[in-house]
Structure formats: C-alpha cells, structure tokens
Homo-oligomer: A and B are copies of this chain.
Amino acid sequence: LRYGILGTGMVGRTIGGKLVALGHDVMLGSRTADNPTAGEWMAAAGDRASRGTYAEAAAFGEIVFNCTKGDASLDALRAAGADHLAGKVLVDVANPLDFSRGMPPSLFVGNTDSLGETIQRAFPRARVVKTLNTVNADLMVDPGRLAGTHTMFVCGDDADAKATITALLRDGFGWPDVIDLGDLAAARATEAYLHLWLRLWRSLGTLSLNVAVIR
C-alpha cells in the first residue's frame, strides 16, 4: 500500500519508517517539499521512502496518517487538501496538547468534543480513525518493548476504516490487544487519557509506559 504521513516529527518518522520496513511505499509530508528532516529520514529509510508537501503526501497515500502537533493539525490538513483526503482512511494520531500554561500541558478541547471529531467535521469525506495517541512513538510501532500484553484503542465512525487500521495495528505493528471503543466521540476518552499519561510519565520517570486493560 501507499501511505502518506503528515508531519516530520518523531511520531511521523517512526510510523513512516515502520511502514517502509513492512514493505509499503511511504511519503513524508511537511510544509515544504525539501524539508531536511524528511530528507534525512528518507535517506535512512530506503527506496520506498519519499518526501513532499502535505498536499503531495496526502495525494500519494491510499491511507493518510495525521502525525502533526494537535494545534497545527487543522492547518496541515487544509494544506493537504480536502480532495486529497476524500474517501481515504485518515488515521489521527495527534493530541490537542496545550502548552500555554506550562508543564504538564493541558488540552485545548475536551469533555464534549475532541480533536478527532473536529478533524472529522472539517473533512467530512475523510474516514477518520483515532488511534496510537496514547503511547509514545517507539511503543506505537513496537509494543513488545514493554513486557506483557498491553492495550491499544481505536475509534471512528467508519467500521471498514477501523477494521483496516485494526489489522495494521495487530499484524503490522504487533498490538495483541486492540479495543474498539466505538464511534469517533470516543476520541474524547483517549485524548482525555493524556492527562493521566502525562502524570504517569512524571511519576514513573519513563516514557515507556502504557496501560493494559484488565477484565
């Protein structure tokens, strides 16, 4: 498959590199076509890796990942272009972190809305799936870094899109326990969880942490 990744930060580069390693063709998109960070990533990731603008990456991908920062996501997606996202699975990995009040950050949306839903409303023809936003980049594509079975969440309004991404999470990224939380309004839940994740990071002193849902 061809994947477009929006965002050249740690999350975008890590997911993009994993998808290349799985045999896919991946274009890393950013504001400029010659982004040097994307260039370094491309050189390291191999022949199936390329770089381009947000619009080029979105046009290239059969599936598109939003790996931009939450407060930049809508601008990046507008630059990607609604027509380039239409009908495609759009995996939203971003969190609506608000650093304006210092550390730990808060969220700029919550309780009755979420970033995932905001993106879906702005791009109604995209098939938004929210996932992976509850762990750090290394764990996203390599959950085995932590011992034992732990949990990844997915939600979204399009059942086929969720099934596609759940299969990628299970068979590609190696997540043994993927829980479907329901419709995209459940993004309120996984985004709100960031408050707990940030506190756990501070209390435990490691980014390598996740929850296992015991039932």
Contact = CB atoms under 8 A, between A and B. Distances in A.
Interface stretch (A68-76, A85-93, A144-152): A144-152
A199 B106 CA distance: 21
B214 A210 contact: yes
A189 B196 contact: yes
Contact of A193 (B148, B196, B210, B212): B196
A163 interface: no
B213 A209 contact: yes
Interface string A132-172: 00000000000000111011010100000000000000000
Interface string A62-104: 0000000000000000000000000000000000001001000
Contacts of A209: 213-215
Contacts of A98: 111
A206 B215 contact: yes
